[in-house]
Amino acid sequence: MTVPVDASGPVPDVSVVVVAFRSGQHLDAALGALSTAAAAPTFEVVLVDNACPDGSGVQAAAAHPWVRLVRSDRNTGFGGGCELGVLAARADVICLLNPDVEVEAGWLGPLLDGLDAGAAAVASVAVDRGGRVLEAGAGIYGDAEEPWTAPCTEAADRSVDYASAACLALRRSTFRRVGGFRAEYWPAYFEDVDLGVRLLPLGGVRVVAASRILHHVGGDGALAAAAAPVFARHHARFLDLVPRRALRGGSGRQVALLDDGSDRVVAALERWRAASAEVELVVVVPAAGRARDLAPAAGRCSAAVVVGPVEQALEERWGELDTVVVVDAAEALAHESVLTRSQPQARVVTVGGDDVPLGV
């Protein structure tokens, strides 16, 4: 390994660590975006050439001589490459950045504000070229038979189970305290999930909506498949540690009932009176007048009434619901987009108890 020894000049606010391995033209674009980013907060870029077989790391460093190049004589994987970059970094705050990411104007300042507010790590919102949100944090779901994760695709400030290391900032001391990335995930994938869980006791991971990045490529299916058995081995422990863990395994206690203005909703509330001690029920009602009409029935089964658009209510409870109840399948399909986006773990059923499959 070759580590730069010339670190003249003042210590920057942030060290941006970019790990390159077969990164091609995206790496040049990523460094180009960084070169035009605002001067404050100050940052340096530590580029790790992870034994790039295509020479992309060395070539990019030659084209952008202001970066600090770290060369490894072997492919240490994504986690190992980040470790090398952190070793060479000078700043107290580390920002891990994928080589296929282009930062947008003003991306860094909000991340530092998020760290100052108490999060252990902060992440940007990843968007595609058209501005569509690809990921704004993610959740851990499933069970021993089928462990899985799902991204949130609504840009908002929120605490999450974990966030992609495509753009993840944290203090060097925090990274060291939790042991950095685990080598068992070599060469890549799911190491950011594992890191996010270990950061929970220190303040967890928070998405900062004001910080945005353009993400070109994203995950590699083959690498994900190779790392999946490692993720599966740790999955039960993850579920024990993440917030709302009782909601991930089908406990049935967190239920949302979507009101359509019909008498069937009132009838459903009356039927739930006997089960009110076993469920925590929220009724989502679009109109205030309707909320007043439902208040007596909701009160008898200790249900909370939320007035406002269904989309907003479900997004605000991202990943928290075990079951969503609708009057019929047509109502579920009318809200299919927000249901699959914000409550991918939830079972969707009609008031009659029939399952409604979505996304098939």
pLDDT for res 249: 38
Which pLDDT score, from 0 to 100, does residue 288 have?
A: 86
- Architecture of the structural domain at 14-243: Alpha-Beta Complex (3.90)
Peptide bond into 12 cis (omega under 30): no
- What residue has token string 């060395």? 58
> How would you class 176 by CB atoms within 10 Å of its CB: exposed for 0-12, middle for 13-18, buried for 19 or more?
exposed
pLDDT of residue 8: 65
Check if 14-243 and 247-350 are the same fold: no
Q: What is the CATH number of domain 247-350?
A: 3.40.50.720
How far is the C-alpha of 48 from the C-alpha of 293, rounded, in Å?
A: 63
Domain assignments of the chain as residue spans, ordered by start: 14-243, 247-350
Q: What is the value of pTM for the model shown? A: 0.71
Q: What is the pLDDT of residue 7?
A: 57
Mean pLDDT of residues grouped by 10 in the chain (360 residues)?
A: 54 95 86 87 94 87 94 90 95 96 94 94 94 88 68 85 94 93 81 90 92 78 66 73 47 77 82 61 87 87 87 80 85 84 80 71
Residues 85-124 pLDDT 10s:
999 999 999 999 999 999 998 999 999 999 999 999 999 9
- pLDDT at residue 250, as a whole number: 40
Distances, alpha carbon 205 to alpha carbons 107, 153, 169, 208, in Å: 17, 16, 9, 10
pLDDT (0 to 100) of residue 13:
95
